[in-house]
Structure formats: structure tokens, C-alpha cells
Chains A and B, each alone.
Chain A
Amino acid sequence: MTEADEERELRRLLERAVPRLPAPEQRMRQVRRRVLRRRRRRAAGLSAGVAAAAVAAVLSWPSAAPAPTREEPVPAASAPTGRPVHYSELLGLGYRLPPGWYAQGPVTQPGAPSPMAFAATQPLSRRPACTEKTAADAPCGPLDALDRGGALVTFGRAPGGKSATETAFRLQAAKSPAPACRKIGGTRELTAARTVLREASPDLGTGEDRAVTVSVCLREPAEASLAQAREMLATAVFAGASPTGTHAPGR
């Protein structure tokens, strides 16, 4: 018997010998749980360092903020806890971009009243996906279509509340996705807003726009992306703000 015969025979025997095991009915649910457990574990590890990191980041950011990040892919290996991103145009918002995510902004898109910044699980286009004319229903975003399982996080500015009692973005599920989310194939949307009060730097956040809004547009199934978005928002800080807080979404 030659080695080639033996190889052929081994293939036949293995095919016969390896059992056809039944798949547990709850396999996908179990996998989802494992993904969430991994995220929580990572977030717990991250949160221990986030407080110190956030303080250090705020202190290290100059008052004249650096240029915002634009369409830069973040390699997973280079920043296991996420790279800091900072936007002075959004009341000094800073956060840590999850590894593998992309950030862009702030840019004033057609149909949008004020600058918006974006973070997503897929590359973002510098060119607006629509024009003023086609932006009548919804502001343009940097995506033509959201990948299945993906997330697009949009930051913007809004009038905001008069007081600030909370210190985190609290995402609430929208009854239905807004047109801007639906337009790119989003099937689920969560929103939050956070009022930023400034005592020391009234020039930041002047006028009525004292809140930063956030929308998380998802194309289901996107539990893993949503978990990453939550982790990302949990790292949000506002440079020079005192104190900060949230209020209910505006819609």
C-alpha cells in the first residue's frame, strides 16, 4: 500500500469515524452570551483604568484642541483599549475609539444644522452620501449602507437641558429608527444626549447648544457592535466641563 493509498484510506476512515454531532438548539444564544460576557469583562477591566485615563487625557489635552480625526482606521493590534479621539467642536467631547472602528468629523453634512462626528464599525466616506437636495428628509451621513451587524454612532449638538444631573450617556431605544438611520439600512436606533455645563470656559458651548447628542444606528443582528458602542460611550469625557450630565433624548 503506497502512502497515497494510505492517505486516501485515512480520509475515508475519518469521514466514517467522526460522529455527526447534533447542534444544541441554544447554540447562537450561548454564543451571544459569550460575546457579551467577553465585552463586559473587557469593559470591567477598562473601567478600572478609564477614570485615571480620562483625567489624564483631559489634563493632557491642550485648550486649543488638535485637529479632529478623519477617516482613520485603527488597527486592532495598536490600541487594545481604544485610541482617544477628541472634538473641540462638540463641547470638547473625547472618547476612546474601539479597536477596528473608524472615526470621522466633525463635519457639517448637507441638511445638518451643525457639525456632526461619526464613529462606525466600517470605513467612512469623506464625501457626503447625498446632496442638499436629497438631504431634505434626513441629514447626510458618511455611509451609503451600513453593513449587517454594524453600527454607526453619530454625535451632534443640541440645545440641551438647563441642568446636568448625570454623568454618562444613557442610551434609550428609539421607537423606530430615524430617517437618517433607515436610509442606510439601519433597523434599530438608540439615542442619548448629555448636557455640558461650563463654568470656567463659557466660550465653549455658547448659545443654546449645550448638549451633545448621540445616535447609535444598528443593522441587526448587532449585539456585539452595540456592546462596543456602549463601551465607547462609557469612556466619553468633556474637556473643561464642570459638571457634566445627561438629559432625555430630544425625540
Chain B
Amino acid sequence: MTGGGEPDFEEFVAARGPRMLRVAWLLTGDAHQAEDLLQTVLAKVWPKWHRITADNPEAYVRKALVNTHASWWQRRWRGEVPHGKLPDTVAAPDPYDAVDLETFLGAAVRRLPARQRAVVVLRYFEDLSVEETAATLGCRPGTVKSQASKALKALRAQVPAAMAEGGARDDRGR
């Protein structure tokens, strides 16, 4: 938020809500749960908005998303169960098709342990630095690096074609 004035909560939600919802989707893997997660966080954040806006409201909301999702994960409220195998529907995907890529990569990210998933979301989707990711997760930069490395290795094993060739195919498609 720029401009020096106190960012209004509703303006923030209108401006950043779509992006935050995508972060929530990547964390939960489900559109309804993503909206639920986002609303839960917004309801927590709103009462203290006037204090949050003094710092970086987006970073605060992002951190709240990750932490709230982690608490859901720990309490298994969402009934989310990690699969040993990817669902059959994505066993032989065409990762270059946008819809299949969503299913395929989304499922692969969701198979990651919660910590690695959070690192992937923050480092590679939100494009935060190692230090910013560490600050958001409340851990050391070294932990972020190691978690990111493990996550990349896991994703590489699950989506090798997409990781290796997706960019080239993507470029050709433009």
C-alpha cells in the first residue's frame, strides 16, 4: 500500500483479496476452503486493522493465512488427508493444458509437508526473499533454504516434465 494514508480495510480486501485467495487456494487446495480460510483470517485481522496498517498489512495477512492454515492442519479440522499417491485423474496428465496443470501441480504442492508447502507458497508464488519467508514463518533463513530444496526435489520427482519443459512449451505457446 502506498500513498501514506491509512489503507482502508475494505480497500485492502478489494485490492489484495484476489491474490490472498490464490495463496489460500495453494495452501488448502480447495476453492471453498480457500475462501473460508481467507474470511477467517480477515475476521481476525479486521478488529486490529488500525494497528496493523502502521506496518505492512499485506505481510501481516499473509502470515496470518499461513499460521491459521497450519493450525487447521495440526487440528485436522478440514479433514484433509495426505495421499500416498496422486489421484488417478492426474496419473497421466498433460501438464501443458492449463486445467490439468492446475490439478497436477496443485496436487503435487498439497502433497508436500505443511512446512515445505508454506515455503513453496511464500518463496515461489508470493516471490518473497529467503529472509522474508523466514520472518513470516518464524524460522531461520537456513531452514527456509533447506525446506525449499527438499520441496523442489519432491516436486521435481512428481512433475518432472512440467518442471523441465513447461517453460519452453509455455514460451512456444505465446
Contacts and interface: CB of A to CB of B under 8 A. Distances in A.
Nearest to A3: B152
A94 B152 CA distance: 58
B94 interface: no
Nearest to B148: A7
User: Which secondary structure characterizes the binding site on chain B?
Assistant: helix
A3 B8 CA distance: 40
Give the interface residue-count category, chain B: 35 or more
A149 B102 CA distance: 39
A147 B6 contact: yes
Contacts of B123: 7
Nearest to A219: B50
Interface string B62-106: 000000000000000000000000000000000000100110111
Nearest to B38: A27
Given A1-B164, A14-B125, A221-B10, A19 B18 contact: no
Interface stretch (A30-38, A60-68, A133-141, A208-216): A30-38
Contacts, number: 115
A21 B22 contact: yes
Nearest to B6: A148
Contacts of B143: none
Interface residues of A, number: 38
Contact of A18 (B8, B25, B40): B25
Contacts of B44: 38
A100 B22 contact: no
Interface of A: 1, 3, 6-21, 23-24, 27-28, 30-31, 34-35, 38, 100, 121-122, 147-150, 221, 224-225, 228
Interface of B: 6, 8-10, 13, 17-18, 21-22, 25-26, 31, 34-35, 39-40, 42-44, 46-51, 98, 101-102, 104-106, 109, 120, 123-125, 127, 148-149, 152, 155-156, 159, 162-164, 166-167, 170
